[in-house]
């Protein structure tokens, strides 16, 4: 299925795009007032533009969400604009949809009723009071008359967190945040409807093949003034600033239906469950608000005694950081030069404390915010936070084995992978019954040898799983060509390579899936943690399912019924109506970290550019300093097409130099070293005898195991530390050369 969302830059349109993509549906959006490079610009009043757009995109379903920017009162004073957008624009979309055989989902309102005897069902006869209601009703009739399989969704009081929107929740936020009172009608009744709920129900109705008119609103019906107070409390604002007044006191230009609202019996019968109540909706809304405003950094957000106390605590945390966690002076030979380590500031500690005070503990608003930041950083279809890089690798392999895929991996399938690797890159393949096909690696790059991959492919090969070793990108030109020609899955282990690029493109964005680690040794940290970069939209929901016990349900922790049909599903051999929260469509585990960890990641994510630059700088200094010793050291191979965000500085000894002797010299100087992970992994005791195939020889992998190691380049290295490392290498070779000359003199 392919969906076109007209008005994707608006509140409803944006929520629809998110819901459609979560469902694995290919989605294209259009925009008009708020331009976006990711969307097609479209003016629905331009019939030729609409026809051309639909012919080019060829959607199966068109969601028409556009609305007059000025709202109900603007329509009353600008009737021509209202008719052009709501009536003429709808006619153009319907005509174009007929031309390409697409279904139309049109969004209408309870303002098509006069508000004298609400709430209203789908069968009640409309009688609009305003120009807005009249034009929306006429648009409904255009859709109904021309498209018998269309969907008309009537809703009301739609709210959500979106800074670009003028929806009711944002009006409350802006006024009360500024300390201003807000007059709100106490006699206008409505069903508050969270925009995410509206979008998710819309997608489910389309997937069910539903047609006709449906009321899609929240369960509770209440005055707008009560909704305003509830929103204020949810956003830690003062509800006393909401002043309930009668509609005549507000003096609106357009008449309002007072006893409004909609009945949802038809929707409940279709889904087998009641809609969201206001409490559930506000819980989800609060997650979005918290994730975006990041309350500890929002001036003026303090409006309660609890919030004032929190700010005092957080200020003390900042002071504590400055007293306790400032870097200590470096003393050569006495201070440890680590190969890696955590680098953090007061922001991480403030976030951690803020999360602890909230005491949500399970993944919550900070998790949402971190996932959003990383998704934006990579420009990926999705980003899924897990509790380690190791479980990230397990998650992606299990996701590719899901029976929800058209061509899942299955036991006995072959996966090409390098012999030099980290154990948990390989272990998921072994545990899933897949057959790893080992290919040799190159000294210098320490990556899989690209020239050997093609020859390793057999009729059983289904995927390639490659790590970018120590941050050095693999040859993605060759890899991408191979997976395209042989129709293979590509998984990138980017745990060591956050920020590395190949031809200007971030590694982790080439494959179907990619993984990251946030262990303290890695580029950014949350103590423990990892992530899955999802570049294939079909895999997004599967990855989340594997992470969340294998559940079919996508509700976040502490939430229920976000699909709107919790007791209306029939999957597998379960009885119809089995609780969706306990339907499991995939093999899975609980791989979620806590929100405490995610809070650290939110602050760390802001440091990525600085961390990458410091790794570049440290690497360059070591490379320049060690170039004179290339008779004895093989330095890293630098590919001009790539720009590595180095995890470490790899070295291979040559010409008879002893790795053990050099490593011991460095360790004696308190300089930490590490081997190139597992070396030839097949030599490790835990991996001997596994089901595997070896392509060619593993001579270079064995050499890396014997002769290679690496030192750190992480951002915590100071200039004094760098100079100590450089001088220690210099001292080693000076001693070696003197020893060699002495030995030569004795022989003479």
What are the catalytic residues?
522
At 19 the three-state DSSP class reads helix
Find the helix or strand (DSSP H, E) in which 724 lies.
helix 719-747
Could you give the dihedral angle defined by the CA atoms of residues 490, 495, 498 and 503, in that order, rounded to the nearest 10 degrees? Answer: -30
Distance CA 52, CA 175 (A): 42
User: Phi/psi of residue 101, each to 5°?
Assistant: 70, 30
Residue 690 φ/ψ, nearest 5 degrees? -70, 155
Q: Are 475 and 510 within 8 A, CB to CB?
A: no
Across the strands, what pairs with 531? 385, 516
Rounded distance, CA 10 to CA 612, Å? 35
Structure tokens at 76: 């009353």
443-453 core/surface letters (b: 16 or more CB in 10 A; e: else): bbbbbbbbebb
- How far are the Cα atoms of 87, 99, 458, 508, 628 from residue 18, in angstroms, in the given order? 27, 27, 39, 21, 55
Is residue 63 within 8 A of residue 39, CB to CB? The reply is no
Q: Are 102 and 60 in contact (CB under 8 A)?
A: yes
Print the SS3 string covering 224-271: HHHHHHHHHHHCCCCHHHEEEECHHHHCCCCCCCCECCECCHHHHHHH
Which residues fall within 8 angstroms of residue 688, CB to CB, at 6 or more apart? 682
What does the block give as tokens for 596?
């405490």
Tokens of 424: 């948990």
Residues 373, 363: Cα–Cα separation, whole Å = 15
440: left (phi > 0), else alpha (psi -120 to 50), else beta?
beta
Q: Alpha helices, DSSP H only, in 548-681? A: 595-605, 608-626, 659-668
Distance CA 183, CA 640 (A): 63
Q: How far apart are CA 255 and CA 185, in angstroms?
A: 13
> Tokens 């980290």, residue?
422
Residues 173, 176, 178, 183, CA torsion sign: positive
Question: For residue 540, is the peptide bond before it cis, meaning its omega torsion is within 30 degrees of 0?
Answer: no
Q: Contact 501/528 with Cβ under 8 angstroms?
A: no
Rounded to whole angstroms, what are the CA distances from 20 to 32, 547, 695? 20, 20, 42
How far is 326 from 343, CA to CA, in rounded Å? 11
With H, G, I as helix, E, B as strand and everything else as coil, classify residue 330. coil
**Whole-Å CA distances, 8 to 253, 574, 731:** 28, 36, 63
> What is the rounded distance in angstroms from the CA atom of residue 70 to the CA atom of residue 325?
52
Closest CA to 343 of 529, 608, 531, 597: 608
Q: E strand or H helix at 91, and its extent?
A: helix 89-100
Q: How far is CA 128 from CA 136, 254, 365, 678, in A?
A: 9, 11, 40, 72
């Amino acid at each position: 299925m392919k969906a076109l969302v007209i008005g994707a830059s608006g509140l409803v349109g944006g929520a629809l795009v998110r819901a459609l993509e979560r469902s694995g549906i290919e989605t294209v959006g259009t925009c008009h007032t708020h331009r976006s490079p990711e969307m097609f610009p479209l003016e629905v009043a331009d019939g030729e533009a609409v026809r051309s757009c639909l012919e080019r995109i060829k959607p199966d379903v068109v969601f028409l969400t556009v609305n007059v920017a000025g709202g109900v009162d603007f329509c009353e004073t600008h009737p021509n604009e209202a008719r052009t957008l709501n009536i003429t624009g709808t006619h153009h979309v319907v005509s174009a949809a007929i031309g390409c055989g697409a279904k139309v989902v049109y969004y209408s309102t309870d303002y098509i009723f006069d508000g004298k005897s609400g709430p209203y069902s789908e069968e009640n006869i409309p009688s609009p009071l305003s120009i807005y209601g009249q034009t929306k009703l006429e648009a409904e009739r255009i859709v109904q008359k021309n498209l018998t399989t269309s969907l008309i969704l009537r809703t009301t009081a739609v709210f959500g967190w979106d800074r670009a929107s003028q929806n009711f929740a944002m009006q409350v936020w802006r006024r009360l945040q500024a300390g201003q009172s807000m007059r709100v009608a106490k006699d206008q009744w409505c069903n508050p409807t969270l925009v995410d709920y509206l979008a998710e129900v819309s997608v489910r109705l389309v997937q069910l093949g539903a047609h006709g008119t449906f009321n899609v609103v929240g369960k509770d019906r209440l005055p707008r003034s009560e909704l305003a107070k509830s929103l204020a409390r949810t956003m830690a604002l003062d509800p006393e600033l909401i002043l309930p007044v009668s509609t005549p006191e507000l003096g609106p230009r357009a008449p309002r239906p007072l006893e409004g609202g909609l009945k949802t019996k038809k929707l409940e019968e279709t889904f087998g469950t009641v809609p969201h109540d206001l409490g559930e909706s506000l819980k989800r809304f609060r997650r979005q608000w918290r994730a975006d405003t990041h309350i500890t950094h929002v001036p003026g957000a303090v409006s309660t005694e609890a919030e004032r106390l929190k700010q005092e605590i957080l200020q003390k945390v900042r002071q504590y950081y400055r007293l306790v966690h400032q870097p200590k002076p470096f003393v050569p030979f006495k201070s440890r030069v680590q190969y890696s380590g955590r680098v953090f500031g007061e922001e991480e500690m403030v976030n951690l404390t803020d999360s602890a005070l909230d005491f949500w503990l399970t993944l919550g608003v900070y998790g949402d915010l971190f996932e959003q930041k990383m998704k934006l950083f990579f420009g990926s279809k999705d980003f899924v936070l897990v509790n380690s890089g190791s479980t990230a690798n397990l998650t992606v392999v299990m996701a590719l084995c899901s029976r929800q895929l058209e061509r899942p991996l299955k036991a006995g399938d072959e996966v090409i992978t390098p012999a030099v690797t980290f154990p948990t890159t390989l272990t998921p393949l072994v545990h899933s019954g897949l057959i790893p096909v080992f290919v040799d690696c190159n000294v210098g790059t320490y990556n899989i040898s690209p020239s050997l991959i093609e020859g390793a492919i057999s009729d059983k090969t289904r995927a390639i799983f490659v790590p970018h070793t120590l941050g050095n990108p693999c040859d993605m030109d060759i890899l991408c060509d191979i997976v395209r020609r042989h129709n293979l899955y590509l998984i990138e282990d980017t745990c060591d390579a956050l920020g590395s690029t190949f031809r200007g493109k971030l590694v982790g964005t080439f494959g179907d899936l990619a993984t990251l680690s946030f262990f303290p040794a890695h580029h950014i940290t949350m103590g423990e943690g990892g992530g899955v970069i999802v570049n294939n939209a079909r895999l997004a929901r599967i990855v989340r399912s594997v992470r969340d016990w294998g559940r079919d349900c996508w509700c976040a922790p502490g939430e229920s019924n976000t699909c709107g049909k919790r007791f209306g599903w029939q999957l597998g051999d379960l009885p119809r109506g089995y609780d969706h929260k306990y339907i499991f469509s995939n093999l899975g585990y609980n791989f979620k970290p806590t929100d405490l960890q995610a809070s650290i990641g939110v602050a760390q994510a802001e440091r990525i550019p600085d961390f990458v630059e410091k790794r570049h700088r440290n690497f360059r200094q070591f490379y320049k300093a060690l170039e004179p010793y290339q008779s004895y050291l093989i330095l890293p191979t630098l590919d001009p097409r790539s720009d590595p965000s180095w995890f470490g500085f790899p070295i291979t000894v040559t010409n008879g130099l002893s790795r053990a002797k050099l490593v011991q010299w460095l360790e004696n100087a308190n300089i930490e070293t590490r081997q190139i992970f597992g070396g030839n992994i097949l030599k490790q005791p835990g991996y001997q005898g596994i089901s595997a195939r070896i392509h060619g020889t593993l001579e270079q992998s064995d050499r890396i195991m014997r002769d290679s190691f690496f030192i750190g380049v992480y951002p915590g290295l100071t200039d004094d530390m760098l100079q100590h490392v450089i001088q220690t290498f210099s001292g080693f070779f000076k001693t070696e050369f003197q020893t060699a000359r002495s030995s030569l003199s004795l022989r003479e």
